[in-house]
Amino acid sequence: MKHGLIRQEENRKTYQLGFGVYKLASALHEQLKITDVVSPFLKDLAAYSTENAHLAVRSMRQAVFIDRERGGTVISTNTNIGDAEELYCTAVGRCLICQMSQREIEELYRRTPLTAYTERTIVGFDELVEELAIVRQQGFAVDREEYEPHVVCIAAPIYSFEGKIQASIGISGPRERVESRFDDLVATVRRMGAEISGLFGYRPKGNL
């Protein structure tokens, strides 16, 4: 109690966690390098899926890859550390902005039109807002040939202990291969996103 790690309930003999735990969690979070935590998951994801696995964070209006693991087959859209892609039309990008309000999305793209990279790219603002709501609700994002022809990507958000999205983990591969294992790959990516989030102290609402 002296250090604020526990607190006694008023007029009771029971105890609860104190606000000092929050300070400890903040200090631990600052010490953890996200790439160190996620690297083993990327290796497992690439090995299991045989597709490229990558970790991305947001920088302004782009998703920047800060780590990646090659899959079993090289494809034309291999990403390298430091490469950047659009937020609005990629799976990793949509995960990074799916928590934003409509006003925040409007502010983000107020002066930047949505470019059509392929005939499948979502370029309507209202449609993008709807898609982000779906991503937020289902816990994963899919890019079906919206950024690169014949390439399908699946990604899931990674949450901090505060419940804020800090990164996204995903895979990309040829449409035929990814679609043939779609449900299995979605489940795997979502699970890994949840496990990584748990390591950072995130607990979904309703879970203690």
Start-end of H helices in 7-165? 20-31, 34-49, 91-97, 102-109, 125-138
Q: What is the signed CA dihedral for 31, 196, 131, 178, rounded to 10 degrees?
A: 130
pTM over 0.95: no
Residue 20 CB neighbours (<10 A): 15
pLDDT at 121: 96
Would you state the pLDDT for residue 13? 72
Q: Domain 33-199 belongs to what topology?
A: Beta-Lactamase (3.30.450)
* Secondary structure (3-state) at 37: helix
How far apart CA 2 and CA 86 sit, in angstroms, is: 49
pLDDT of 71 reads 83
Q: What are the extents of the domains in the chain?
A: 1-31, 33-199
According to DSSP, the β-strands at 62-69 and 52-59 are antiparallel
Count how many residues are written for the chain: 208
Taking each helix axis from N to C terminus, what angle separates 102-109 and 125-138, rounded to the nearest 10 degrees?
130
Tokens representing 176? 């035929």
Bridge partners (DSSP) listed for residue 174: 151
> What 3-state DSSP class applies to 69?
strand
Q: How far apart are CA 151 and CA 76, in angstroms?
A: 9
For residue 154, what are its two tokens?
A: 């699946």
Rounded CA Rg of the chain: 19
d(CA 137, CA 63): 21
Q: What is the pLDDT along the chain (208 residues), one digit of tens a residue?
A: 776 777 777 666 777 776 665 555 555 555 458 888 999 999 999 999 999 999 999 988 899 999 999 887 655 556 788 889 999 999 999 999 999 999 999 999 988 889 999 999 999 999 999 999 999 999 999 999 999 999 999 999 999 988 999 999 999 999 999 999 999 999 999 999 999 999 988 988 754 4
What is the pLDDT, as a whole number, of residue 22? 56
**Cα separation, 60 vs 86, whole angstroms:** 10
